[in-house]
Amino acid sequence: MSDLTCARGVDLLMDYLEGVLSVAVKESIDRHVGGCPRCLAFVASYRETPRVLRDATAEEIPADTKRRLEKFVRELSKRSPER
């Protein structure tokens, strides 16, 4: 099965949270997030974010929110997924 890394996970998490992934991919993410505090925190913080990020057009996302999210994702993918 596909072994998910955090970098790959972050890439897929957006799709995951939007519910556009296949069940198989979704399950492998579920497994990874279940054992990965970093990705779990990412999912949690994303879910706390108002639906504006999903429903609104990019222009309607508050610049500050967008910047914080982008910074967070960048830092998350910067770290080595392997320990």
Residues interacting with Zn ion, by CB under 5 A?
Answer: 6, 9, 36, 38-39
Instruction: Answer yes or no: are the C-beta atoms of 38 and 6 closer than 8 Å.
Output: yes
Number of residues written out for the chain: 83
- Site of tokens 């990019």: 58
CB of 7 vs Zn ion, minimal distance in Å: 8
C-alpha 1/C-alpha 65 separation (Å) is: 35
CB of 8 vs Zn ion, minimal distance in Å: 9
Choose between 51 and 83: whose C-beta lies nearer to Zn ion.
83
CB of 38 vs Zn ion, minimal distance in Å: 5
